[in-house]
């Protein structure tokens, strides 16, 4: 019996390095696939040459360094951030279908960001990256506060999800209304952002989001150990010395900031926060936060960069919204998880 248990543990451990290697390889291949392909094709050899030379004056260099490179980095950084945010929310609510998009947190961040952008653009001012993140964070926290308030009133997670979806619809409706009746041409262009898009990302945006996401990831790693205890129940976590109130607050803040970063720069991106953590769990055969947090980041980066590649080139020159593509691949995973959980309960 002990030999079987030992062999089972060894098998699960074997999945960890293999899983990380697979994700890193996929990320590396997707990076170059996104860089060299598009309406203007750049040969793989030229891509390496342009990357080593740095920014130049040629048209190919500008396309690479000013458009594609920051866009690819943004899709990877924000995809990873959204996936980790989803995993933290699933840990918080102890439910596999909890996520920033489903619970209405992304839509709250979207509404606050859109209102700030419309107000500033109406005054002839441009909203900076930090202002966008603060606005998105405020909206995310308001939505999160409502969701937590509802969660304390109901015991059924299905009702909580329905309430989150209703919040999402309300916030999206108000955002669409504000964008529709905007007069300024720059404000009208917010329509693409409100649907979800990585176009227009600049190096200034990259520097801000990279710092914010790095700090949040450091905090998430520090939360990994108490999160492991929390997964076994609040009573057990408290007996292990975890300050439940402080831990829950830290979990909410980190997940909200990560979600706010994504919404501020790319708009709402659907199903990534739910689907990717489930796919990563299946790949690594574990739910340990110390493994899941970095794995979810890599998995989210791979998933979103792949979806952005399809959104950008599938029907070129027409570009799809990123949420359209992530929904096509992410929604079936969510449906499968709901059916699987229903089957277990039955």
Q: How many CB atoms lie within 10 A of CB 222?
A: 12
Q: What is the pLDDT of residue 319?
A: 85
Name residues of the chain where pLDDT drops below 70.
1-14, 38-45, 54, 154-158, 182-189, 191, 341-346
Can you give the pLDDT at residue 117?
84
In angstroms, the Cα distances linking 27 to 143, 274, 305, 322, 326 are 32, 20, 8, 18, 17
> What SS3 state is found at 294?
helix
- For 178-240, give the DSSP string: HHHT--SHHHHTHHHHHH---TT--HHHHHHHHHHHHHHHHHHHHTHHHHHHHTT-HHHHHHT
End-to-end CA distance of the chain: 30
Neighbours of 194 (CB within 10 A): 20
- Cis peptide, bond prior to residue 317, ω within 30 of zero: yes
Tell me how far CA of residue 315 lies from CA of 43, 119, 270, 319, in angstroms: 21, 34, 20, 7
Contact 296, 82 (CB under 8 A): no
104-113 pLDDT per residue, tens = 888 888 889 8
Tell me the per-residue pLDDT of 68-84, one tens digit each, with 9 for 90 and over.
889 999 999 999 999 99
What is the structure's pLDDT at 45? 67
Is the whole-model pTM more than 0.75?
yes
Confidence at residue 178, expressed as pLDDT on a 0 to 100 scale: 80
Domain boundaries defined on the chain: 69-345
CA separation (Å) from 301 to 41, 120, 197, 251, 263? 23, 31, 15, 21, 16
Q: What does the DSSP assignment read for 54-74?
A: -S-SSHHHHIIIIIIHHHHHH
CATH number of 69-345: 1.10.3470.10
Looking at the chain, how many residues does it have?
A: 346
Yes or no: say if 325 and 310 are a contact pair by the CB < 8 Å rule.
yes
């Amino acid at each position: 019996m002990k030999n079987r248990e030992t062999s089972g543990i060894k098998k699960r451990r074997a999945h960890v390095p293999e899983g990380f290697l697979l994700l890193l390889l996929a990320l590396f291949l997707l990076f170059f696939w996104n860089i060299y392909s598009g309406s203007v094709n750049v040969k793989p050899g030229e891509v390496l040459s342009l990357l080593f030379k740095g920014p130049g004056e040629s048209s190919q260099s500008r396309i690479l360094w000013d458009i594609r490179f920051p866009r690819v980095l943004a899709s990877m950084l924000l995809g990873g951030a959204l996936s980790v945010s989803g995993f933290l929310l699933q840990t918080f609510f102890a439910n596999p279908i909890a996520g920033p998009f489903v619970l209405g947190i992304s839509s709250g961040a979207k509404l606050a960001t859109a209102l700030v952008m419309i107000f500033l653009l109406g005054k002839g001012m441009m909203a900076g990256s930090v202002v966008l993140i603060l606005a998105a964070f405020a909206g995310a926290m308001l939505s999160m506060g409502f969701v937590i308030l509802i969660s304390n009133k109901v015991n059924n997670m299905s009702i909580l999800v329905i309430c989150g979806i209703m919040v999402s619809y309300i916030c999206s409706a108000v955002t669409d209304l504000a964008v529709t009746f905007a007069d300024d041409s720059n404000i009208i262009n917010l329509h693409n952002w409100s649907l979800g898009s990585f176009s227009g990302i600049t190096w200034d945006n990259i520097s801000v989001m990279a710092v914010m996401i790095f700090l949040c990831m450091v905090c998430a790693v520090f939360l990994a150990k108490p999160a492991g205890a929390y997964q076994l129940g609040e009573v057990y976590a408290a007996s292990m010395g975890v300050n439940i109130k402080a831990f829950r607050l830290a979990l909410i803040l980190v997940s909200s900031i990560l979600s706010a970063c994504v919404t501020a720069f790319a708009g709402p991106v659907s199903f990534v926060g739910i689907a990717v953590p489930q796919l990563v769990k299946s790949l690594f055969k574990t739910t340990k936060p110390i493994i899941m947090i970095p794995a979810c980041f890599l998995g989210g980066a791979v998933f979103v960069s792949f979806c952005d590649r399809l959104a950008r080139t599938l029907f070129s020159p027409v570009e799809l919204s990123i949420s359209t593509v992530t929904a096509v691949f992410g929604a079936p995973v969510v449906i499968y998880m709901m059916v699987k959980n229903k089957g277990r309960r039955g």
